[in-house]
Chains A and B, each alone.
Chain A
Amino acid sequence: MTRLAAEGLSAGYGQTPILRDLTLKVPTGAITAIVGANACGKSTLLRCMSRLLRPSAGRVVLDGRPVQGIPTRALARELGMLPQSPIAPDGITVADLVSHGRHPHQGPLSRWTAADDAAVATALEATRIVDLADRDVDQLSGGQRQRVWIAMALAQETDVLLLDEPTTFLDIAHQVEILDLLVDLNQSRGTTIVMVLHDLNLAARYADHLIAVRAGRVHAAGHPDTVLTEDTVRQVFGVACRILPDPTSGRPMMLPLGRHRTTADPSHRKDAP
């Protein structure tokens, strides 16, 4: 079952093509991670799917309708998008920022309702930032701030949520926390999640569906077990690697191999000079 799909998508900035005739289907109600080398078109793909960028050819389809034809506000009730580096206005409080998520649900003249309050409160609770509601966003740590942005996307109450590198610039504890939060959201509300991730091992562990993008095309897509192979990693990232089963989740785990330190290291012994 697929609600969101890209069909023959080509797009780019100016004269430089980035996506070339890309076709993919996003499984509904699942977590999809998009991986790929730098500048392979991951973010461009996400921007096209959320209609931030108009494709030069092909189309993105939501429930059988091309997204270009859906009114902006109506689309924002179905599909949320958290860009890579949103700006927190100077001096805005957490509660006010999260409240912005209600925008697509409000008419031009309609008043703020109890339902809006409830949605904001639920989002604050789910991301565990109720205590921060009155704080200024610019005073928060990176991990807290990212939870605030996700809370805003939750308050939007969309069935589909796209996130562009939601864990970038976070330490490992906060990365895991954000990904756990997205799994909670996926399990409790059935939200379809599509995210661009850099860390292959976290992508393989947290995603139900992995899409590897190479040079503007889908190179491989499917369950992480089938996508994250030594061949795929070499072709997509240009790096040799070993794939081992993750001892906790059983998902594939990737160990990159560079030019050095690829054999058992004699200096590893404690008595080495």
Chain B
Amino acid sequence: MMAAGAPRAAVVALRRRRRGRVATLAGVGAMLALACVLSVSLGTRSVGWADIGAGLLGRTDTMAQAVVAVRVPRTLLACLAGAALGLAGAVMQGITRNPLADPGILGVNAGAAMAVVIGIAWFGMATLSAFIWTAILGAGAAACFVYVIGSLGPGGATPLKMALAGAATTIATSSFTVAILLPRNDIAGGVRSWQVGGVGGAAFDAMLPCLPVLAAGLVLCLMSARGLNLLAMGDDAAAGLGAGIARTRALAALGAVLLCGATTAICGPIGFVGLVVPHLCRLLVGVDHRWLLPFSALTGAILLILSDVAGRIVARPSEMDVGIVTAFLGAPVFIWIVRRRRVRDL
């Protein structure tokens, strides 16, 4: 052949790209560690290194050490929730070939929240595992509903129609949730702060039941990475390369719903993380989902931790819930994406 013995430029190019991604991965890992340190040390009350060390060892002798003991589970929750939402966003964008897909925009989180509120208000639900499964059920139902509504009419499930269907669903379910809560002063207060989306009330024992669900969602999503790569080329091309289209979509969607449901059950609906993070990661590592998905999880964790820290600092001595901070970050990104895309894609 043409290249007998010659250095195969194409192979060199492939390998160079992989090395670049590994370096970026190390950088993102370091950022995550830094974000965790910031989250434990900064806030309404700042603490020093000595107190952080003591607090991590479980000592709560001084005020500062007690603060650390509260912030550690909070940081961990922000990390888990951010990773779950970032990953779910990347997967949803892959499944729908839709740059605007996000658990918040497509109404999945709002659906989960409504299901939880119905469970509390009408069925007296009180255990955390009940919250989780109800939230997953609500997330799944909302995802199916939005997909069906967004697919109606000519052109099928176009990105803009999906975003509109999701926004409408979010508004409808949120209004319904408010209607349920209005006459219920007994539960309204607690539910309302949860509804904004926050990680402030984190505790280790509340996170524990979520871990298996999050792990299952993580595995399902990461397993779909290759299938999502093929789906990105259109269903026909993907099928021609041997991808099981329906199976890939269903498994990946199930993974994303598990992640969103479990996250919403503990933190409330947090929007825009799943929108912003995958776009950022595509700029860093390209469109290969085998890299994009883990990067989205890591970057989502970083973003949510930093948003939480920002929420603690900007409103001193009070705090701003992380869901509000991510909305401030995410809305401009949403507009940027819509403006940047060629019209035919939307």
* Chain A residues in the interface with B (C-beta under 8 A): 47, 50-52, 72-77, 80-83, 85-93, 95-97, 99-101, 103-104, 106, 108, 117-118, 120-122, 124-125, 130-131, 133-134, 156
Interchain residue pairs with CB less than 8 A apart (15): A47-B236, A52-B239, A75-B242, A83-B237, A87-B97, A90-B287, A92-B288, A101-B241, A103-B229, A121-B8, A121-B10, A125-B8, A125-B10, A130-B10, A131-B9
Residues of B within 8 A of A106 (CB): 226
Residues of B within 8 A of A73 (CB): 242
Question: Per a CB cutoff under 8 Å, which of A72, A83, A89, A99 touches B14?
Answer: A99
Q: Which 6 A-B pairs have the closest CB atoms?
A: A76-B242, A81-B240, A83-B236, A104-B242, A73-B242, A89-B232
User: Contacts A91-B282, A117-B11 given: A72-B243 contact, CB under 8 Å?
Assistant: yes
Residues of B within 8 A of A76 (CB): 240-242
Interface membership of chain B positions 242-253, coded 1 if the CB is closer than 8 angstroms to chain A and 0 otherwise: 111000000000
Which residues of B266-295 have CB atoms within 8 Å of chain A's CB atoms?
282, 286-288
Q: Is the CB of B286 within 8 A of A96?
A: yes
Which residues of B5-38 have CB atoms within 8 Å of chain A's CB atoms?
8-11, 13-14, 17
Question: Per a CB cutoff under 8 Å, which of A82, A87, A93, A103 touches B17?
Answer: A93
B63, chain A: closest CB distance, angstroms = 50
Residue of B with least CB distance to A101: B241
Q: Is the CB of B13 within 8 A of A134?
A: yes
**Bound Cα distance from A77 to B242, whole angstroms:** 8
Q: Is the CB of A87 within 8 A of B237?
A: yes
Residues of A within 8 A of B287 (CB): 89-92, 96
* Chain B residues in the interface with A (C-beta under 8 A): 1-3, 8-11, 13-14, 17, 97, 99, 223, 226, 229-230, 232-234, 236-237, 239-244, 282, 286-288
User: Contacts A93-B17, A120-B10, A125-B10 given: A80-B237 contact, CB under 8 Å?
Assistant: no
Q: Is the CB of B236 within 8 A of A100?
A: no
User: Contacts A87-B97, A121-B3, A122-B1 given: A72-B242 contact, CB under 8 Å?
Assistant: yes
Residues of B within 8 A of A92 (CB): 232, 286-288
Q: Is the CB of A52 within 8 A of B10?
A: no
Q: Is the CB of B286 within 8 A of A91?
A: yes
A241, chain B: closest CB distance, angstroms = 33
Residues of B within 8 A of A108 (CB): 223
Q: Is the CB of B233 within 8 A of A89?
A: yes
Residues of A within 8 A of B2 (CB): 125
Residues of B within 8 A of A120 (CB): 10-11, 14
Q: Is the CB of B237 within 8 A of A86?
A: yes
Q: Is the CB of B1 within 8 A of A88?
A: no
Residues of A within 8 A of B99 (CB): 90
**Bound Cα distance from A62 to B192, whole angstroms:** 61
Residue of A with least CB distance to B239: A52
User: Contacts A76-B241, A90-B287, A103-B242 given: A95-B236 contact, CB under 8 Å?
Assistant: no
Residue of A with least CB distance to B289: A89
Further contacts, 19 of them, CB under 8 A, given A96-B288, A117-B11: A52-B239, A72-B239, A72-B242, A77-B242, A81-B236, A82-B237, A83-B234, A89-B233, A90-B287, A95-B17, A96-B17, A103-B241, A108-B223, A117-B14, A118-B8, A120-B11, A125-B3, A131-B9, A133-B10
